[in-house]
């Protein structure tokens, strides 16, 4: 039982239920017995997801921070971290703090430490948004899109009038949130970041921003905190030298490179010289510490003296400390083998790092076998030129900027960028196929992890080609954007690809146009009239399987906007096409959609569910379960209704599909009310409201508020009912949801007459 509870609390409800089935089977086979009442009660509680199981709720505080865990202690920054932390307080008058300093000085590390210390102060979370991979020029909407994605905001269901204004959408979505956003590496986007920052802070009174940049924004209200290099040793005796934070960092990194290394009377003077020669710049210290594998501290100090006596041409004219870092990067580069240089400069095109398999596929060529890449990257990690974070490898921003220069010098820049576009497109196409079937969760996770790189690849494809790849990439990502509810991103990406990639294959362009039509139907404001679809937008799509699926996508969009006849006609065409080419997924999707509008809904839904089980598509099974549950509710079978919705809820949580979680919780709340279970309905609606508010899913918030108002009316709490319903009405009107506004008014009328 403890195992079942642990599985459930870790978010693995399906595994917890499977554990009970295994227990039941073993007891029956070995003892001829059944699980005891306590185990059976736990099984029922897991099925119902009862609050007393104490599973952290979706959107709980544990989920409200994405800061990376530090791999090593923060050295020499205790006072600075305390000073920054003191500024990060929801009650503080200054809401914009910018950490400034040269590259490699440790701004990001200090910012993450301070933000982590402030996590408990911000009820809606602390979020790191990395801007280094966002190419220049970028506008404020590009920054807003990155923030929306990072916060996991659910911008799916027609929440605002103008989704082309992503800054405005974001400001409205988080208008009542108390959160801290850390924008890292802003220096190449200063003007856009300044505009974004002014808009966000003026519209969101409880939001705070922490920035890292090589220069300040220079806007009203900004508090600038310069980040200096680490403290240098003043003398050479070991005890005095050891008190220097620069020495402490150097010795720590040296001990990692050479186990057993320690500061002593023999090396203290040399270590002091090294740290002073490198101006206490953390990145420079880390880069040279690895050289102790082959040099003594005394030899290292002598090499540095010699090197800085004859600086490279590339470092001349820079300020002294920038010369120091540039000199260390030059030296590190010169000590690399040709193959190590090749891998390092090719990695720079990745905007958000990569996994080893990607590095092998991308960095290898005819002269560099893929099997050698892991060893080369390992050596680059040892030299502090590549950072490993979990299963991903990335370059620090200072190293990346240097390697970008080396890539251009090698004459590889355009070729490597084109190769990156091809690689990302082909990877996305492979993952797209996996999104419909047993590998759905893995494909979602992979595409989530590669979001920034895919955005970078699309930007490059739009700007410089190769021809056809921008359209191919958006076609590959269409279904992913739908599952994740990223309609503004889909809309902007599809439009830009179709505008820029005029030389793409006609069939591919028609497919992208169909994706865009379906997205427009879903992303239009409130209950506004949908985009006219005068003809089948999928005509001309070459692949019959894809065409049928796109007919379904556009058809369901039309149906969702109330154009039932037009939508049904397209879905019926999709069904006929799927059967003609034996596309079981397409047939299943069409059957489940038609089940809601046909004469025998349960039969069509059962057929669709069976096909979705056959192809092992969890999203499809979730949708089929919902249709079957609604049919069961219609014929008065509350037990089957709840069971099907509960199964669907597990699937939605397993896939991380938060809109589906909210919709299912809301349907469960309605089923509980229909069964007279007012308290249970209240708990379910409160969960739906919590998840919706966390993700800025306005339609979910409105429906949950209406449900809570209904439940409060039934238990006789008129004040609570009125409060919930007036909030629902206000949100409905502000976001253009006339249908939901009418529902709230109807419920208010019932309350008035009660």
C-alpha–C-alpha distance, residues 345 and 402, integer Å = 9
Which residue shows structure tokens 């005029």? Answer: 502
| Residue of 69 and 494 predicted with greater confidence | 494
C-alpha torsion 64→68→74→79, nearest 10? -30
- Exposure string of 568-602, with b = 16+ CB inside 10 Å and e = fewer, is bebbbbbbebbeeeebbbbbbbbbbbbbbeeeebb
What confidence tens digit (pLDDT) does each residue in 235-248 have? 667 788 888 999 99
Task: Please compute the mean of the pLDDT values over residues 526-549 and round it to a whole number.
Answer: 76
Phi-psi region of 512 (alpha: psi -120 to 50; beta: other; left: phi over 0): alpha
Whether 682 contacts 711, CB under 8 Å: yes
C-alpha–C-alpha distance, residues 143 and 140, integer Å = 5
- Exposure string of 338-364, with b = 16+ CB inside 10 Å and e = fewer, is ebbbbbbbbbbbbbbbbeeebbbbbbb
C-alpha–C-alpha distance, residues 721 and 681, integer Å = 14
Specify the long-range contacts of residues 570-579, CB closer than 8 Å, at least 24 apart.
Answer: 570/536, 573/536, 573/548, 574/548, 574/549, 577/544, 577/547, 577/548, 577/551, 578/545, 578/548, 578/549
C-alpha distances in angstroms, 183 versus 60, 68, 449? Answer: 23, 14, 19
**20-24, 357-361, 572-576: range with lowest mean pLDDT:** 20-24
- φ, ψ for residue 211, nearest 5 deg: -120, 150
What confidence tens digit (pLDDT) does each residue in 625-669 have? 999 998 898 888 999 999 999 999 999 998 888 889 999 999 999
Question: Sign of the C-alpha dihedral, residues 444, 450, 455, 459?
Answer: negative
| Residues above pLDDT 70, as percent of the chain | 85
Task: Please compute the mean of the pLDDT values over residues 63-83 and round it to a whole number.
Answer: 84
Whether 336 contacts 376, CB under 8 Å: no
Specify the long-range contacts of residues 745-753, CB closer than 8 Å, at least 24 apart.
Answer: 747/706, 747/709, 747/710, 747/713, 747/721, 748/709, 748/722, 750/713, 751/709, 751/713, 751/718, 751/721, 751/722, 751/725
Residue 317 pLDDT level (bands cut at 50, 70, 90): very low
What confidence tens digit (pLDDT) does each residue in 436-447 have? 999 999 999 999
What confidence tens digit (pLDDT) does each residue in 258-291 have? 999 998 988 999 999 999 888 898 988 988 898 8
Give me 719's structure tokens: 């004040």
Return the pLDDT at 1.
44
Q: How far is CA 418 from the centre of its chain?
A: 25
- Exposure string of 34-62, with b = 16+ CB inside 10 Å and e = fewer, is ebeeebeebbebbbebeeebebeebbeee
pLDDT of 142 higher than 50: yes
C-alpha–C-alpha distance, residues 44 and 216, integer Å = 57
| Residue of 323 and 447 predicted with greater confidence | 447
| Residues sharing a CB contact under 8 Å with residue 225, sequence separation 6 or more, in sequence order | 80, 83, 84, 87, 97, 98, 99, 100
Residue 60 pLDDT level (bands cut at 50, 70, 90): very low
Task: Please compute the mean of the pLDDT values over residues 50-69 and round it to a whole number.
Answer: 56
Residue 212 pLDDT level (bands cut at 50, 70, 90): very high
């Amino acid at each position: 039982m403890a195992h079942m509870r642990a599985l459930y609390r870790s978010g693995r409800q399906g595994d917890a239920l499977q554990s009970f089935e295994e227990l039941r089977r073993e007891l029956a086979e070995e003892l001829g017995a059944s699980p005891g009442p306590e185990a059976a009660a736990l099984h029922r509680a897991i099925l119902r997801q009862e609050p007393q199981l104490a599973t952290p709720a979706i959107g709980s505080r544990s989920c409200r921070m994405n800061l990376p865990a530090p791999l090593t202690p923060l050295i020499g920054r205790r006072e600075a971290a305390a000073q920054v932390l003191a500024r990060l307080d929801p009650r503080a008058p200054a809401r914009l703090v910018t950490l400034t300093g040269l590259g490699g000085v440790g701004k990001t590390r200090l910012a993450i430490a301070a933000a982590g210390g402030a996590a408990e102060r911000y009820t809606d979370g602390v979020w790191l948004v990395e801007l280094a991979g966002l190419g220049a020029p970028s506008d404020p909407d590009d920054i807003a899109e990155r923030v929306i994605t990072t916060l996991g905001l659910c911008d799916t269901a027609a929440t605002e009038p103008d989704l082309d204004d992503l800054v405005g959408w974001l400001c409205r979505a988080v208008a009542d949130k108390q959160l801290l956003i850390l924008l890292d590496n802003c220096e190449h986007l200063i003007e856009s970041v300044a505009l974004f920052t002014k808009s966000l802070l003026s519209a969101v009174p409880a939001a705070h921003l922490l920035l890292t940049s090589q220069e300040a924004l220079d806007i009203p209200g900004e508090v600038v905190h310069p980040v200096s290099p680490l403290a240098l040793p003043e003398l050479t005796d070991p005890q005095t030298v050891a008190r220097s934070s620069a020495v402490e960092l150097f010795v720590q990194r040296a001990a990692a490179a050479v186990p057993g290394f320690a500061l002593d009377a023999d090396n203290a003077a040399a270590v002091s010289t090294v740290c002073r020669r490198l101006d206490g710049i953390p990145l420079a210290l880390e880069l040279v510490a690895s050289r102790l594998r082959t040099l003594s501290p005394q030899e290292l100090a002598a090499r540095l003296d010699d090197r800085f006596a004859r600086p490279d041409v590339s470092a001349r004219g820079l300020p002294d400390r920038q010369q120091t870092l540039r000199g260390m990067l030059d030296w590190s580069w010169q000590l690399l083998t040709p193959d190590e240089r090749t891998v390092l400069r090719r990695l720079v095109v990745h905007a958000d790092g990569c996994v080893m398999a990607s590095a092998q596929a991308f960095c290898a060529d005819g002269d560099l076998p893929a099997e050698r890449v892991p060893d080369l990257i390992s050596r680059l990690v040892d030299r502090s030129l590549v950072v490993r974070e979990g299963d991903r490898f990335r370059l620090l921003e200072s190293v990346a900027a240097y390697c970008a220069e080396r890539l251009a010098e090698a004459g590889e820049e355009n070729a490597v960028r084109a190769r990156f576009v091809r690689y990302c497109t082909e990877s996305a196409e492979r993952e797209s196929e996996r999104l419909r079937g047993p590998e759905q969760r893995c494909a979602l996770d992979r595409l989530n992890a590669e979001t920034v790189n895919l955005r970078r690849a699309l930007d490059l494809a739009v700007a410089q080609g190769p021809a056809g790849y921008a359209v191919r990439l958006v076609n590959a990502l269409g279904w992913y954007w739908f599952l994740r509810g990223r309609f503004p991103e889909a809309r902007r990406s599809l439009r830009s690809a179709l505008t820029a990639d005029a030389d793409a294959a006609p069939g591919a362009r028609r497919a992208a146009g169909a994706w865009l039509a379906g997205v427009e139907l879903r992303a239009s404001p409130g209950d506004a009239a949908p985009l006219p679809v005068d003809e089948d937008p999928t005509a001309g799509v070459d692949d019959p399987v894809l065409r049928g699926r796109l007919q379904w996508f556009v058809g369901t969009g039309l149906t969702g906007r109330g154009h039932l006849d037009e939508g049904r006609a397209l879905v019926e065409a999709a069904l006929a096409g799927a059967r003609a080419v034996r596309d079981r997924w397409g047939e299943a999707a069409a059957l489940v959609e038609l089940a809601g509008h046909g004469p025998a809904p349960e039969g069509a839904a059962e057929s669709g569910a069976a096909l979705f089980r056959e192809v092992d598509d969890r999203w499809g099974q979730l949708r089929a379960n919902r249709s079957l549950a609604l049919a069961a509710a219609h014929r008065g079978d509350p037990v089957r209704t709840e069971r099907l919705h509960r199964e669907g809820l597990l699937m939605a949580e397993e896939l991380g599909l938060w809109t589906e979680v909210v919709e299912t919780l809301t349907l469960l709340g309605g089923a509980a009310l229909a069964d007279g279970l007012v308290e249970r309905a209240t708990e379910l609606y409160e969960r739906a409201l919590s998840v919706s508010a966390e993700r800025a899913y306005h339609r979910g918030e409105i429906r949950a508020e209406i449900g809570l108002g209904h439940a409060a009316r039934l238990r006789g709490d008129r004040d609570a009912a009125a409060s919930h319903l007036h909030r629902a009405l206000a949100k409905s009107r502000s976001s253009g949801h006339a249908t939901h506004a009418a529902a709230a008014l109807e419920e208010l009328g019932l309350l008035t007459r009660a």
